[in-house]
Chains A and B, each alone.
Chain A
Amino acid sequence: MTKYIVRRALGLIPLLLGIVIISFALMKLAPGGPERQFNQNPRVTEAQIDAWLTRWCLEREPTPIGILREFSGWMGLYNCDTESFLSESGGLNVLPAFLGGGDNGILHGDLGISIVNARPVTDLILERVPATLILTSVALFLWVTFAVLLGVVAAVKRYSAFDQSVTFFAYVFYSLPTFWLGLMFIFVFAVTLHWFPAQGIVSPRDWPPFNTPQYWEAFGEDPIAAITDIGRHLILPVTVLVLVNIAGDSRFVRASMLEALNQDYVRTARAKGLPRRSVIMKHSFRNAMLPVVTNVALELPFLFSGAIVTETIFSWAGMGLLFIEGVNARDYFLLMGLILITSVLVIVFNLVADVVYAVVDPRIRYD
């Protein structure tokens, strides 16, 4: 198994390289490069701009060599300050800093500077991750749990009124555009009924912005109130996410369970005199969950990249909203960084899904 994982991981390297190249190419092809954008931020000094332009090899006139240098610099192979493949301390730039290498480029965790905020992209992203994770993990957990419950019961009570209504609602909700549903929810529950807040992670009147030092200070003083406040803000976006995603997954669970219920080993189990419950839960359920587990594992990338729509509608300051802000502002480094990180996560989670499946299904053994 370990050999398989290692082999797969090694196989991912060309893919990662491809992603890096594409992210870079996408930004390079887009009109208006970072240089121009830097100039538009009033908080940035001329000296800073020059430093940055040098640090990332951002040539004023792009030539093929220039672009290649820029790419290597962005990657971290090439050091633009020393203008060579060696770092300031003289070692190979590609090595980690403590081994004498450089500290620039994605290989060293440096994703560039956000044009809009004049802050390192890495910091920006890390700052927004918790907000996204809170939203997406709560939603994912809830919809998977409910999807399994609904799907299993619907399969066991096939064609009953319960099953038919679940199927019907699944059809409908599965097709509803998330952003429309979100807007409608905001209108009904927030604007009209005033049950829940319409936007944001925290109530701006009572709390500092989320994930700032001031916020955590205030949090420490009254954690229960803080959590309640976040909770109230979570309800609408999570509900929207759950409703839309539960539909597809519950149908998948139902189909998987139905197939497991129709297998010959179910007949064998009944022939042994096992009670119906035991047959369903012990024999069918376990088998039905195999594809479901893989399916969920494949949905894990959603945790990071899935909430763009919801975050936009509800002004939820997470990674998705950060991305939109970046696109609006043509914040190239930010966009490259976000695309890179989320792609890497997708690939990693795909590998995780395969491993999980192999662990759970005794028939599968990778050698």
Chain B
Amino acid sequence: MAETAHPAEPLHGELAQVAEIAAEEAGTQDFEVALESLNQWQLAWRRYKRHRLALIGSFFLMSMIAVAVVGPIIWPYNPNDIPGVTTPGGDPPTLNPIENIFGTDFGGRSVLQMVIVGARISVAVGLFTMLIATTIGVTVGALAGFAGGRLDGVLMRFVDLMLAIPFLFVILVAARFFGGGDPVTLIVIFGLLFWPGLSRLVRALYLSLREQEFVQAARAVGVSDLRITFRHILPNALGPIVVSATLIMAGAIVTEAFVSFLNFGIRATDVSWGNALSNSKGYLLQGNWWWPFFPGMALALTVIAVNFIGDGLRDALDPRSKE
């Protein structure tokens, strides 16, 4: 996956001066101008709403989560139910029966159902990996950035080490050797491996934020270092952290799919989008394109949606963003 793009671009020179002054004055006028004052979260929400792609992405992701949670309950998956097919290799998409709207696999099982069941795995892996990795990454980064000195040195050396080893190599080895073929072990492995990049980012944020005056003020009042780290500085660093977290989620979803595709992840007998791609590979030559296409499409769209959300969040939470 390629790197994230640069933060928002600044406004043109002269116009910026004019607009800045206007904005300043708007806050300090003597005569009656009714100004609503919004807090930064409300402002961020406003900016987020303007980002069309992010809204589409959010909607899509919500739907996918809903499908993942509710789908397998309404339509239970029975791996032993093999209806059989009329076309060798799998029945093509059809409206009759409606469950086969995405076609079937070589045994006649509905691809639509695979998409629904697989969604559960992908969404779970994505969300929980994000939660675990973000927690670890923020903790390590915050401690290193705030404490500085030797702790920082030791922690960052360790992070450098983790970052030096090519990511995919480690994930594959870990998944194959330590994984159990089930989502839980996979989530644990991913959570333990996805955090170093974020910790670097958080450390940089903390290094700059800890010099700010509100930190000195808190210290002067006697707030403990630990509290300052997590209750005072963290909310200010939340923007880039949230954006990184969405990237982690997207990355985890793709990585799970790839690892399962190679049969190192979710065991082949379970359903995941990656597994579907792997199992269907052989039937591609027989003309069965729908079996790999729809799960893959679901995967692609989910990842795109998460990335759009991340982008929208970046623009919304970046205080320098003026667009």
CA distance A271 to B136 in the complex (A): 52
Contacting pair B160 A15 (CB below 8 A): yes
Residues of chain A within 8 A of B32, CB atoms compared: none
B window 134-171: CB within 8 A of A: 157, 160-161, 164-166, 168-170
Report B1-43 CB contacts with A as 1/0, cut-off 8 Å. 1111111011011000000000000000000000000000000
For the complex formed, measure the closest distance between the CB of B71 and the CB atoms of chain A, giving whole angstroms.
21
Minimum CB distance partner of B172 in chain A: A327
Q: Which stretch of B108-116, B208-216, B223-231, B302-310 is in the interface?
A: B302-310
Which of B12, B250, B285 is the one whose CB lies under 8 Å from A175? B250
B window 244-290: CB within 8 A of A: 250, 254, 257-258, 261-262, 264, 277, 281, 284-285, 289
* With A183-B277, A191-B285, A327-B264 as contacts: A31 and B304 at CB distance below 8 Å: no
Which of A14, A19, A171, A191 is the one whose CB lies under 8 Å from B304? A171
Q: Which stretch of A94-102, A204-212, A248-256 is in the interface?
A: A248-256
Contacting pair A186 B284 (CB below 8 A): yes
Q: Is A40 an interface residue (CB 8 A)?
A: no
Q: Please report whether the interface of chain A is mostly helix, strand, loop or mixed according to DSSP.
A: helix
Q: Is B293 an interface residue (CB 8 A)?
A: yes
Contacting pair A177 B303 (CB below 8 A): yes
CA distance A335 to B307 in the complex (A): 33
Residues of chain B within 8 A of A323, CB atoms compared: 169, 172
Q: Is A172 an interface residue (CB 8 A)?
A: yes
Which of A31, A171, A254 is the one whose CB lies under 8 Å from B308? A171
For the complex formed, measure the closest distance between the CB of B267 and the CB atoms of chain A, giving whole angstroms.
15
Residues of chain A within 8 A of B293, CB atoms compared: 184, 187
Central interface residue in B9, B178, B262, B300, by most chain A CB within 10 Å: B9
Q: Please report whether the interface of chain B is mostly helix, strand, loop or mixed according to DSSP.
A: helix
* With A22-B165, A183-B284, A249-B2 as contacts: A175 and B264 at CB distance below 8 Å: no
Minimum CB distance partner of A309 in chain B: B258
Q: Is B197 an interface residue (CB 8 A)?
A: no
Q: Is A180 an interface residue (CB 8 A)?
A: yes
Q: Is A61 an interface residue (CB 8 A)?
A: no
Contacting pair A342 B169 (CB below 8 A): yes
Give the top 5 A-B pairs by smallest Cβ distance, nearest first. A248-B2, A255-B6, A30-B177, A251-B5, A305-B166
Minimum CB distance partner of B311 in chain A: A171
CA distance A107 to B311 in the complex (A): 46
Q: Is B317 an interface residue (CB 8 A)?
A: no
Residues of chain A within 8 A of B304, CB atoms compared: 171-172, 175-176
For the complex formed, measure the closest distance between the CB of A291 and the CB atoms of chain B, giving whole angstroms.
8
Which of B2, B9, B12, B177 is the one whose CB lies under 8 Å from A31? B177
* With A14-B157, A184-B296, A309-B258 as contacts: A171 and B53 at CB distance below 8 Å: yes
Interface contacts beyond A14-B157, A181-B300, A339-B166: sample of 18 additional A-B pairs, CB < 8 Å, sorted by A: A31-B177, A175-B307, A177-B296, A177-B299, A177-B303, A180-B277, A180-B296, A187-B284, A187-B293, A244-B2, A248-B5, A252-B6, A259-B9, A301-B166, A339-B165, A342-B166, A343-B166, A346-B165
Tally A residues with Cβ within 8 Å of B: 57
Minimum CB distance partner of B274 in chain A: A179
Which of B161, B178, B250, B261 is the one whose CB lies under 8 Å from A18? B161
Which of B1, B169, B250, B284 is the one whose CB lies under 8 Å from A191? B284
Minimum CB distance partner of B163 in chain A: A346
For the complex formed, measure the closest distance between the CB of B20 and the CB atoms of chain A, giving whole angstroms.
15
For the complex formed, measure the closest distance between the CB of A20 and the CB atoms of chain B, giving whole angstroms.
11
Which of A22, A252, A264, A305 is the one whose CB lies under 8 Å from B168? A305
Central interface residue in B1, B170, B277, B289, by most chain A CB within 10 Å: B1
Residues of chain B within 8 A of A305, CB atoms compared: 166, 168-169
For the complex formed, measure the closest distance between the CB of B41 and the CB atoms of chain A, giving whole angstroms.
25
Report A76-87 CB contacts with B as 1/0, cut-off 8 Å. 000000000000
A-B pair count, CB < 8 Å, reads 144
Residues of chain A within 8 A of B281, CB atoms compared: 183
Tally B residues with Cβ within 8 Å of A: 50
* With A177-B254, A183-B284 as contacts: A256 and B6 at CB distance below 8 Å: yes
Central interface residue in A177, A248, A323, by most chain B CB within 10 Å: A177
Contacting pair B13 A259 (CB below 8 A): no
Residues of chain A within 8 A of B300, CB atoms compared: 175-177, 180-181
Residues of chain A within 8 A of B1, CB atoms compared: 174, 248
- Chain A positions near chain B (C-beta within 8 angstroms): 14-15, 18-19, 22-23, 26, 29-31, 171-172, 174-177, 179-181, 183-184, 186-187, 191, 244-245, 247-249, 251-252, 254-256, 258-259, 262, 264, 267, 295, 301, 305, 308-309, 312, 323-324, 327-328, 330, 335, 338-339, 342-343, 346-347
Which of B157, B168, B299, B311 is the one whose CB lies under 8 Å from A308? B168
Q: Is B82 an interface residue (CB 8 A)?
A: no
Residues of chain B within 8 A of A264, CB atoms compared: 13
CA distance A333 to B307 in the complex (A): 38
Minimum CB distance partner of B304 in chain A: A175
Minimum CB distance partner of B158 in chain A: A18
Minimum CB distance partner of A295 in chain B: B3
Contacting pair A262 B296 (CB below 8 A): no
For the complex formed, measure the closest distance between the CB of B298 and the CB atoms of chain A, giving whole angstroms.
10
Residues of chain A within 8 A of B47, CB atoms compared: none
Residues of chain B within 8 A of A295, CB atoms compared: 3
Q: Is B176 an interface residue (CB 8 A)?
A: yes
For the complex formed, measure the closest distance between the CB of A226 and the CB atoms of chain B, giving whole angstroms.
27
Minimum CB distance partner of B287 in chain A: A191
Contacting pair B173 A30 (CB below 8 A): yes
Contacting pair B176 A174 (CB below 8 A): no
Residues of chain B within 8 A of A338, CB atoms compared: 169
Minimum CB distance partner of A245 in chain B: B2
Contacting pair A335 B9 (CB below 8 A): no
Report B235-249 CB contacts with A as 1/0, cut-off 8 Å. 000000000000000
CA distance A31 to B173 in the complex (A): 11
Residues of chain A within 8 A of B176, CB atoms compared: 327-328
* With A177-B254, A346-B164 as contacts: A255 and B172 at CB distance below 8 Å: no
Contacting pair B165 A343 (CB below 8 A): yes
Minimum CB distance partner of B301 in chain A: A175
Q: Is B292 an interface residue (CB 8 A)?
A: yes
For the complex formed, measure the closest distance between the CB of B67 and the CB atoms of chain A, giving whole angstroms.
19
